[in-house]
Structure formats: C-alpha cells, structure tokens
Chains A and B, each alone.
Chain A
C-alpha cells in the first residue's frame, strides 16, 4: 500500500485558474514538505511543515499556499496559475529530521 498519497496524479489547468494538490502520508511522520521539479529547473524546495506548523518557505510567490488540516495532510493551493507553474509537484515526509520519503507526484500542466 502506498504510504504517501498524492492526488491527482495528473492535472491540466487553464491560465488564471486555481487548483489544490492533495498530499496524505501514512508513515507517522511529523514533518511534511513540498518540492517542485520542472524541465527548466532542478528539484526545488518549496515549503516544510512540522507538527502542522510552517517551518520554512522558499517560494517567493504568495500564489502558493500550503494548507495542513490534519497532521498527516499537507495540501498545496495554487492560485492564478501560469504556464510557468507547469511542473511535477512532489510531497515528502520525514520523522524527526531523518531522511525524507517522497510521494509519487502530481504532474501539473497549465495551458
């Protein structure tokens, strides 16, 4: 059974729209993260949460907003989508600073 679930697997959106990427982990980890991987840039760290609190934010744009409704959930809301937002978004989790485990990713295409 998958331990980190990301939904949806593929997402196509129109420029200017808003989407929410879902991430749930069943590893009992306290920390969760979002990373982005695109053809133009290497894997980029976006956010980290620990015990549902924002720890680190490397995303300059406020269009990207993480949301943690439960301790094992960390969703990513993206507003006013742009074609440059097209990428695969990976959720990851870890326990008390140990190695991070990555989810399968959501591949977002913005037209």
Chain B
C-alpha cells in the first residue's frame, strides 16, 4: 500500500518569509514524488517532481523540494514567499507499476499575509 501524509492542514506566513510545506510518504520501493498547487476555484497545476538523481529538485514559480530517503519526506520550499503563493498545495506519490496512479495527500492550505 502507498500513502502520503501532509501533517499541516493550514500554514500561515507573512510575505517575505521562507515557507516549507511538509510531506511524508509510505511506499515499499523508490517512489516518484510530485507537488501540485490548486488556486481557489481552479484545477491542479504541476509544480515539480522527483524521479531519481539530485535530492533537490526545482520547479515552476520559484519552488523547490528536497527528497530525503532517510525519513521518507519530500518537503516543498520557497524563499521569499509572496502573497500570490496563497493556495492549496498537494503532495502526490506514484508507485512503480501502478499504471501512473497518483496518491495524494490531503493538502496544505497556505495563506501568505501581506
């Protein structure tokens, strides 16, 4: 079985601060990991992915994420945060041989205050 946990349902920061959204996963083999962002009333937009190789991956909108096998985490980071980053962020896992099925976490609602 595979699962994704995003322990923080809500995160509130001031503009200009550094943001880090937490994601941990459970999977018996090497996973493919993704971050997506959803703005209010909109669909999901792809931010970045980790397949293999460098532990730090860079994506769109200035985001990056760090894969840590030691604690099964894939945290999303950005510095500095901008008010336009306010949205809901989803971490997702795709397992090997899973026919590309994405398993999503419950999401983290990020609010950036001016």
Do A and B interact with each other, yes or no? yes
B105–chain A nearest beta-carbon distance, Å: 7
**For the complex, what is the distance from the CA of A33 to the CA of B90, rounded to whole Å?**
17
Chain B residues with CB under 8 A of A56:
98-101
Contact: A90 with B42, CB < 8 Å?
A: no
In the complex the two chains form, what is the Cα distance from A42 to B89 in whole Å?
12
Q: List which A27-76 residues lie within 8 A (CB) of chain B.
A: 31, 33, 35, 42-45, 48, 50, 55-56, 58
B44 at interface by CB-CB < 8 Å: yes
Q: Which of B34, B43, B105 is in CB contact (< 8 Å) with A105?
A: B43
Partner of A48, one of B42, B99, B107: B99
Let me know if B58 is at the binding interface, CB within 8 A.
no
Binding site for A on B (CB under 8 A): 34, 36, 42-46, 49, 90, 92, 98-107
19 residue pairs from A and B, CB less than 8 Å apart: A33-B101, A42-B106, A42-B107, A43-B90, A43-B92, A43-B104, A44-B104, A45-B103, A48-B101, A50-B99, A55-B100, A56-B99, A58-B101, A90-B44, A94-B100, A99-B49, A100-B46, A102-B44, A104-B43
Residues of B close to A33: CB separation below 8 A: 100-102
CB closest residue in chain A, given B36:
A102
- A105 (CB) vs chain B CBs: closest residue: B43
Q: Do A42 and B105 touch (CB < 8 A)?
A: yes
Bound-state CA distance A42–B101 (Å) is 14
Question: Which of B36, B44, B92, B107 has the largest number of chain A CB atoms within 10 A?
Answer: B44
Contact assessment for A104 and B98 in the assembled complex, using a CB-CB cutoff below 8 Å: no
Known: A43-B90, A102-B44, A105-B43. A97 touches B100 (CB 8 A): yes
